[in-house]
Amino acid sequence: MSKMTIQVAFDYTCPYCYIGHHQVLRLREEFGVEFDYLCYELWPEGMEIVHGPVKPDIPGKPRVPTRFEFALAASGVPKPRHFVDGDRIHNALEATEHAKAVGVAGQFVDRLFRALWTEGLAINDLNVLSSLAEGIVPDVDALLADVENRAFADKIVLFDDPAHATGVYNVPTFVINGKKFAEQPFSVLERAIRAVLN
């Protein structure tokens, strides 16, 4: 019997995809499911990177947790050592598509998430990508050539309009048995998988 495959639309620089990656690891361990990583680019070239408004501190006002901090707590996911909020990431996505093509997507995606959110590395830099690919990708030179030639540009879905045309409005979006689940807690994804497996 073939394993269940779940599609997940993601971008490395999305804080909620950091949580989503931890969900992927847990779901893989608990259910033995496989994942098809769909590369979505939140901040493609030409789009202005916009950060959320920074509210001024009010003396004496207690601090309120952010939406991301609430999501971390609800998911039981550790706070990242390095916080990322928007960045150009096209090279990393091209490299990910190469890793998919040679059958090592799971290992490579995990390495890049850890490099970005735990180690604070610039994963869009070609030298950094080369180093991270060592020991995972069979031919690192071929990976770099694909990145430089944008060999997989047609497989990377850009925000906003192209992404919305595919039904993806937020990342991560998990596709389980044809139904989309966007930025959902682990319990929701778990129930959806159990419903299919049972």
pLDDT digits (tens, 9 = 90+) for 121-165: 999 999 999 999 999 999 999 999 999 999 999 999 999 999 999
Residue in the block written with tokens 């501190």: 57
pLDDT of 37 = 98
Reported confidence tier of residue 57, pLDDT bands at 50, 70, 90: confident
As a whole number, mean pLDDT of residues 47-73 equals 84
Residues in the chain: 198
Q: What letter would DSSP give residue 103?
A: T
As a whole number, mean pLDDT of residues 42-54 equals 83
The CA distances from residue 115 to 7, 12, 105, 125, 184, in Å, are 22, 10, 15, 12, 24
Reported confidence tier of residue 180, pLDDT bands at 50, 70, 90: very high
44 phi, psi to nearest 5 deg: -70, 160
pLDDT at 1 over 60: no
In whole angstroms, give the CA distance from residue 38 to residue 105: 11
pLDDT of 54 = 66
In degrees, rounded to 5, the angle at the alpha carbon of residue 108 between the alpha carbons of residues 140 and 38 is: 115
In whole angstroms, give the CA distance from residue 143 to residue 145: 5
Write down the pTM of the prediction: 0.93
In whole angstroms, give the CA distance from residue 27 to residue 107: 15
As a whole number, mean pLDDT of residues 19-36 equals 97
Determine how β-strand 157-158 pairs with β-strand 173-176. Answer: unpaired
